[in-house]
Amino acid sequence: MAVADTGGHHYLVKAAAVTVSVAVNVDGFLWSAAPGQYFLQDQVTVANPTGSAEPLSGFDDIDTGLADDVAFVMDASTASADHDALACGVDAAFAPTLCPISYGQGVTVDSDSADHDDHVALTLAPGASARITYSYGPVLQAVVPSAVTATFTGGTTPVELTP
């Protein structure tokens, strides 16, 4: 999926299907979900199709460990059925039929192939790509991963990334 952020930076982004895990490793720390809960996870490849370096800060903010331009989203009817509809209609960037379930807490960056622990602003060279693993949660196991999509939120309108 070709996306552009509000700063005019362009990317080709491909997300896998959202999966679940009872534990995630974030910056060397193991987080475990309580019984009846799990973490949502997705692996995303971000490529730079341009002739100049592009920043990865929206996909991996090294200061916060979050992906400011990525959200986990589900359809409002599914969210209502799963009792996870609190974020529906909260963010004006999303259509009322979509619910950003990661609203407020944000999506965590578990790993990023472009981050080599230098703690400097991450960029992608022309033609380069990075593989990033994201997680969110824990959430109740009533949230079905196939109903959740990774969505790019850094542009003028959200763009669904999950196939």
Residue 83, pLDDT above cutoff 60 = no
- The closest alpha carbon to 146, from 25, 1, 14, 16, belongs to 16
- What's the CA gap between 72 and 161, in Å, rounded? 10
Q: What is the pTM of this model?
A: 0.90
Q: How do strand 23-26 and strand 29-32 relate by DSSP bridges?
A: antiparallel
Residue pair 100/72 in contact (Cβ under 8 Å)? The answer is yes
The pLDDT of residue 116 is 64
- Mean pLDDT, rounded, for 31-60: 95
